[in-house]
């Protein structure tokens, strides 16, 4: 049995909301990422928030076109941070904007 964080009554684990006060039993942030062009599946990333670090996790799931989770992997905060670092550190460098491109050209022009 779980305990509601708002009214502190006991609640069965499968409930998403407290039946006594309607408070959510767990808080999470969710983002969907579409697959590449032509891909019919999506990636769903959920970060579960909790005061207790043992209850926090990031879940990554692959969703089919008909709305079913095909696979799910849970990551602790350290592994989620490592995944974020990997994606950030291996991303291609952004192309310079117009201002940066013009500034670079002007620096090459001899003054005088």
pTM of the entire structure?
0.68
Residue 112: is its pLDDT beyond 70? Answer: no
* Residue whose pair of structure tokens reads 């032509």 in the numeric block: 38
Hey, how many other C-beta atoms are within 10 angstroms of the C-beta on 84? Answer: 11
Lowest mean pLDDT across 15-19, 43-47, 89-93, 107-111? 107-111
Which pLDDT score is estimated for 14? 87
Give the pLDDT confidence of 39-48 residue by residue, as tens digits: 899 999 999 9
Residue 50: is its pLDDT beyond 90? Answer: no
Segments making up each domain of the chain, as ranges: 26-92
Q: Are the CB atoms for 26 and 20 separated by under 8 Å?
A: no
**H or E element that contains 77:** helix 77-90
């Amino acid at each position: 049995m779980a305990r509601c964080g708002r009214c502190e009554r006991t609640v069965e684990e499968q409930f998403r909301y407290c039946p006594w006060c309607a408070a959510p039993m767990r808080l999470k942030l969710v983002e969907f990422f579409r697959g590449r062009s032509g891909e019919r599946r999506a990636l769903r990333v959920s970060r579960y928030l909790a005061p207790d670090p043992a209850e926090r996790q990031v879940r990554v799931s692959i969703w089919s076109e008909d709305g079913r989770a095909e696979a799910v992997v849970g990551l602790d905060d350290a592994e989620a941070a490592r995944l974020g670092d990997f994606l950030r550190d291996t991303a291609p460098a952004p192309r310079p904007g117009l201002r940066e491109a013009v500034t670079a050209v002007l620096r090459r022009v001899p003054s005088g």
